Structure 1
Amino acid sequence: MTVTTNATTSVSREQLLVTDVPGPESRRLHDERSHVVADGVSCVLPVYIDHATGPFLVDVDGNRFIDLGSGIGVTTIGHTNQAVVDAATEQLGKVTHTLFTVTPYPGYVALANKLADKTPGSHQKKTVLVNSGAEAVENAVKIARKYTGRRAVAALDHAFHGRTSLTMAMNHKAAPYSTGFGPLPGDVHCVPNSYPFRDGLTGEQAAARTIAHLEQRIGVSDLAALIAEPIQGEGGFVVPAPGYLNKLQDWCTANGVVFIADEIQSGIARTGTWFASELFDLVPDVILTAKGIAGGLPLAGVTGRAEIMDAAQPGGLGGTFGGNPVAVAAALAVFEEIESRDLLAESKRIGSTLTNGLHRLQQRHSSIGEVRGHGAMIAFEIVRPGTQTPLPGAASVVAEQAAAEGVLLLTAGSDGNVIRFLPNLTVTEDLLEYVLQVVDDALLILEAA
Structure 2
Amino acid sequence: MTADLAAYMTQVGQSAKQASALLARADTATKNQALSYIKDELIAHKDEILSANAKDVQNAKQKGIASALIDRLVINDKVFDGILSSLDDVIGLADPIGEITELTYRPSGIQLGKMRVPLGVIAMIYESRPNVTLEAGSLAIKSGNAIILRGGSEAFHSNHALAGCVHLGLSRAGLPTEAVQVLATTDRDAVDALIGMTGVVDVVIPRGGRGLIERIANNARVPVIKHLDGNCHTYVDSFAQLDMAIKVCTNAKTSRYSPCNVMETLLVHQGIADTALPAITKAMHDKDDTMVFKVCDISQKILENQHLNIEPACEDDWYAEYLAPILAVKVVSDLDEAISHINHYGSHHTDVIITNNYAHAQRFIREVDSSSVMINASSRFADGFEYGLGAEIGISTDKIHARGPVGLHGLTSQKWVVFGQGQIRL
TM-score between both structures, scaled by the size of structure 1: 0.25
- Between the two structures, name the one with larger relative contact order (CA 8 Å, sep ≥ 6): 1
Question: As a proportion of its length, which structure holds more helix?
Answer: 2
Q: Which has the larger radius of gyration?
A: 2
